[in-house]
Chains A and B, each alone.
Chain A
């Protein structure tokens, strides 16, 4: 298990290095530079470029940057008066993480319940309704859902605030918008798997032990049905992370999404790099976590690769 974990960590580092390098090269290939729009005399311009180390040859800039990143220093923003990029990201990450995690939670819990009930009551009204809902959830992009929710629930019915970021209520609609595809996918996977698990021999063994139906389903069926749901949790979490870029804009939430969009428009090299690296770490980290979680749920995976 330890060897497996270390190996995965090694892969993570390599992946991140490739991403940093690729982003760095592509960013330098973009036309223009951060000072292009400002009307500054050439001497001042040269001085600022020097201050940020942008006058040096690219390989030198690259090595220097890499060295700083390893030490956790993402540099200073070029467009926001030299504020630390790390601080800006941490500030924007709060709201983003909150609606993202809450969305994933909403989605997983509702999806599991819906999927299990569908499987147990195959062919019932609930089953058909949840299938219909799942098709909607998969086919409607979450930014459309976000706009609809913001307009109807927020503006027309006035149940929850349609945007901005002031207190807890402001987080519910964005989280719901993000959770729709999650509900759809998790409920489908859970249903399919649950139907299969309910037919397994060990379900009969459990029944033959005289266990109550609820105990059989929770203890024996759900855990086995959960395994495939966990695998898609990784991609779903990543969908939420990327989806929130747009959803945050719709709800006017001062999160990572806003940071990302403005940084690209401003050609703010350090901020672009910082946000990209941060997202990469997040996504690679989620994949890594899901791999570990898999092993926790399914003991057969925990042992493969590791000798006893």
Chain B
């Protein structure tokens, strides 16, 4: 399959008064044409920083790309200047943000916010762009788009605003869509609609999607592949089935066990992962999860495990994969339910 995006050993840091926060520490993953890759992990694991670095949206300083490359369309995005990036942003890579309430400009009509990208990237005239904007609003399921187009964001509901954001993002038919927690700020019923819409549009437009989320329910619904991040590193990656049904990393087990399930009996409590992630000002020398890991061994706190291949698509960074490690069975809460 053709690769749309290749992230290789990306390191991103932030300069702060207290020192350098290493938010992303060697992240690698690929996105193939037409597929959806979910990047999951708890708050502060570096998933949003990774996505915004792909778009080069983070202001520098304080952020800086220490090393690594992001290959897109034969170009390394980390090496491009602003002018070149402007041609890619919105046209070839588009982004949907978490909070549709604040991501739209309150003093500009929804139509105006869709057309400005079209006029810039596709050199459309005002009339053409307007026509296209109406078409996009219809595509994302907004009723009577002809009149909606001249309304302002405050006249839209939350779900409709996110639909409008999707219309903005997809208007120039980008090769890659980055959705940074697109459903987190929405009602549960609206969440499902937005995810369905993204799935439907992906089939129509053929866009690849990177979905940043901590909602495993959403991941199960839409993702082809899953990348699990923890403390700025990828701890496990693989196809949806591999990560959900044969998870290898204790952190992934923990994530799955902390997700409520319909088939679980009411006397079974959710199992949160005890503790909290390490401070990335001073990341630990060994595996960052060791301090919270039930199965941690001596080596775990001393050395970072290498990434090993479980299958051709499934990779995990854990000392338990080492031939000399004891065999550990994942807890029942984390797997099963086929």
Nearest-neighbor residue (CB-CB) of B98 within chain A: A201
On chain B, which size bracket covers the interface? 20 to 34
* B149-168 with Cβ < 8 A to chain A: 152, 154-155, 165, 168
A204 touches B103 (CB 8 A): yes
Q: Answer yes or no: A231 CB below 8 A from chain B CBs.
A: no
Q: Answer yes or no: A205 CB below 8 A from chain B CBs.
A: yes
A219 touches B106 (CB 8 A): no
**Which of B57, B120, B155 is the one whose CB lies under 8 Å from A208?**
B57
- List, in ascending order, chain B residues with CB within 8 A of A204's CB: 57, 97, 103
- Flag the segment in A49-57, A84-92, A209-217 that touches B: A209-217
- List, in ascending order, chain A residues with CB within 8 A of B222's CB: none
Q: How far is the CA of A174 from the CA of B104 in the complex (A)?
A: 43
- List, in ascending order, chain B residues with CB within 8 A of A201's CB: 97, 99, 102-103
A209 touches B105 (CB 8 A): no
B154 touches A299 (CB 8 A): yes
Q: How far is the CA of A300 from the CA of B121 in the complex (A)?
A: 30
Q: Answer yes or no: B254 CB below 8 A from chain A CBs.
A: no
Q: How far is the CA of A177 from the CA of B25 in the complex (A)?
A: 58
**Which of A215, A223, A303 is the one whose CB lies under 8 Å from B107?**
A223
B82 touches A219 (CB 8 A): no
Known: A210-B89, A213-B82. A202 touches B120 (CB 8 A): no
A219 touches B103 (CB 8 A): no
Shortest A242–chain B CB gap in Å is: 32
* A178-223 with Cβ < 8 A to chain B: 200-202, 204-213, 215, 219-220, 223
Known: A201-B97, A208-B90. A219 touches B108 (CB 8 A): yes
Known: A202-B103, A224-B107. A208 touches B94 (CB 8 A): yes
* B257-315 with Cβ < 8 A to chain A: none
Closest 3 CB pairs of A and B: A210-B90, A210-B89, A209-B90
Q: List 28 A-B contacts (CB under 8 A).
A: A200-B102, A201-B99, A202-B102, A202-B103, A204-B57, A204-B103, A205-B95, A205-B104, A205-B168, A206-B105, A208-B57, A208-B89, A208-B90, A208-B95, A209-B90, A209-B94, A209-B117, A210-B86, A210-B117, A211-B116, A213-B82, A215-B120, A219-B116, A220-B105, A224-B107, A297-B107, A298-B107, A299-B154
